[in-house]
Amino acid sequence: MRTLALAAALLAVAIVDVRAEDDPEPPGNTGTRKLQGKWVSVRKIQKGKESDYVNESTYVFKGDKVDYAWKKQAYPMKVELDRKRPFALTLTKEKTTPKKYYYKIEKGELYLTLDRDNDPNAKPDFTVGTKSIIFIYKREK
């Protein structure tokens, strides 16, 4: 009886383990899950001053792809997360040089700013916007 109970328990654990592996991730970078969806601009910070930037641009993340729209122009890009820096990503438009960005999601808002620093240990500053403008987006529902 013990053997049967042990075998049943092991089988149950194996089934649960297989089901956990079936949890679908978006295609491409699995770390982009929190970025998925449409983000609409709401404001920006530049040289310490915050100003409105409502509906000026959008990002739509789908797997490892992103569609950026600004002034009625669409720019499809590929998104790649930096494996060494969890707060950095690279966006690449076709036939252009990839651009590195810092990002964070806080209180339902996406903060995005260019990474203009060649230092691989540099940390982002999302408060002042002196090196680069900080754009803030809200997820569209």
Q: Architecture of 28-139 per CATH?
A: Beta Barrel (2.40)
CB-CB contact of 90 with 79 (8 Å)? yes
Q: How would residue 2 be classed by pLDDT, with cut points 50, 70 and 90? A: low
Q: Is the full-model pTM beyond 0.85?
A: no
- Paired with 135 in beta bridges are 44, 112
pLDDT of residue 141: 82
Give the domain ranges of the chain: 28-139
Q: How would residue 3 be classed by pLDDT, with cut points 50, 70 and 90? A: low
Q: Is 41 helix (H, G, I), strand (E, B) or coil?
A: strand
CB-CB contact of 56 with 69 (8 Å)? no
> Does the pLDDT of residue 133 top 80, yes or no?
yes
CB-CB contact of 128 with 46 (8 Å)? no
Out of 6-20, 38-52, 62-76, 127-141, pick the least confident.
6-20
pLDDT of residue 32: 85
pLDDT of residue 6: 43
Q: What is the pLDDT of residues 107-131, one digit of tens each?
A: 999 999 999 887 878 888 888 888 8
> Does the pLDDT of residue 18 top 70, yes or no?
no
CA nearest to 79, candidates 93, 65, 67? 65
Work out the average pLDDT over 72-82: 94
Residue 115 amino acid letter: D
CB-CB contact of 78 with 65 (8 Å)? yes
| Separation CA 74–CA 64 (nearest Å) | 17
Q: What is the pLDDT of residues 31-69, one digit of tens each?
A: 789 999 999 999 999 999 999 999 999 999 999 999 999
